[in-house]
Each structure stands twice: as structure tokens, then as C-alpha cells.
Amino acid sequence: MSKIDIPVQVLRSEAVLPRYMTNLAAGMDLHAAIPAPLMLDPGARILVPTGLALAIPPGYEGQVRPRSGLALKHGVTLVNSPGTIDADYRGEISLILINHGQEAFHLKPGDRIAQMVIARVLQASLREVPLLDETPRNSGGFGHTGFRIEIDNA
């Protein structure tokens, strides 16, 4: 498995450096860098700092994803998932948590709240054309394999 070097700046004393929890893990856990516990009510969302800034090399991004255990046990996930940390971003990484559960979620300092996957990025050059090539699917979108959604354009 190949590795890249990513400089990390610690911005808050509560910050915990991300690390892989197993040898073959794709994602590193991101932690809540908060000075005291917080409560997230059902249906509420909150911006949670990690206390970290990264210098991701050009050609890579950080993909921020929910933790499946939080989603299953508490209904807590990320609002914008996956989130992207671009190679030119140098600010603090903060995560928007939302509670889809039935009960308040108690967030403690240092809790693991998301995971970050470092991935290669390929930028595309878009070229305008008058028509696209045909495929068996063509413009079949939502429900094209059997489930139909009717949209009233009136």
C-alpha cells in the first residue's frame, strides 16, 4: 500500500491527530476538537471543529465520510457527504453533523465523528458538442430500471 506525506497543523489544544484504526483501513478517523461536551437534539445540525488544517498535495483530495457506527447506533451523520477537502484549502477542517435519530446525541471532546479518505483527483476538460453518442440507457434516469417516478411539470 502506497503512502503520501501530508503536513498537519494543530490549531486547537483539543485536537486529536487522525490515524488509521487497522492496517488496511481506507479512512482515518476525525475527532471532535471541542472544549466541553455538546448535545445535538433530534433534527438539529452543528458545525464541529477538528482543530486541524492540512496541506494536501496537488493531485489529491480528502474525502470526508460518515462513520457507520454513529449512523446505525444514533442516527448521526454528515450533512454534506462526502465532503471534499481540496488540495489548496488551508483552513480548519470542520464537519457538519446532523442528528436523524429519535434521541439527543451527546458529543464529547475527542469523539470520533467522521472518517477521511485521501484520494487521487483527475480534473476533466469539458468539450461542448452538439449531440452526445447514443447508449442503450440514453436519458433514462430515476426509475429507468423499473421503478417509475412521475414528475408533474405543470
23 is in an annotated binding site: no
90 is known to lie in a ligand binding site: no
Task: Name the region of 59 (left: φ>0; alpha: ψ -120 to 50; beta: rest).
Answer: left
pLDDT digits (tens, 9 = 90+) for 97-142: 999 999 999 999 999 999 999 999 999 999 999 999 998 888 877 6
CATH of 8-120, one of 3.40.50.300, 2.70.40.10, 3.30.565.10, 3.30.450.20: 2.70.40.10
Q: For position 136, what pLDDT does the model report?
A: 84
68 labelled binding-site residue: yes
Computed over every residue of the chain, the mean pLDDT equals: 93
Average pLDDT over residues 138-147: 69
pLDDT at residue 82, as a whole number: 92
- Is the Cβ–Cβ distance between 85 and 64 less than 8 Å? yes
Whether residue 45 is annotated as binding a ligand: the answer is no
How many angstroms separate the CA atoms of 35 and 107, rounded? 11
pLDDT at 39: 96
Q: What is the mean pLDDT of residues 8-28?
A: 96
Residue 42, pLDDT > 70, answer yes
Which pLDDT does position 140 carry in this prediction?
Answer: 77
| Residue 13, annotated as binding a ligand | no
| 69 marked as part of a ligand binding site | yes
Start-to-end Cα distance in the chain: 54
Binning pLDDT at 50, 70 and 90, where does residue 150 land?
A: low
pLDDT range class, residue 45, cuts 50, 70, 90: very high
SS3 72: helix
* pLDDT value at residue 79: 94
Domain ranges, ordered by start, for the chain: 8-120
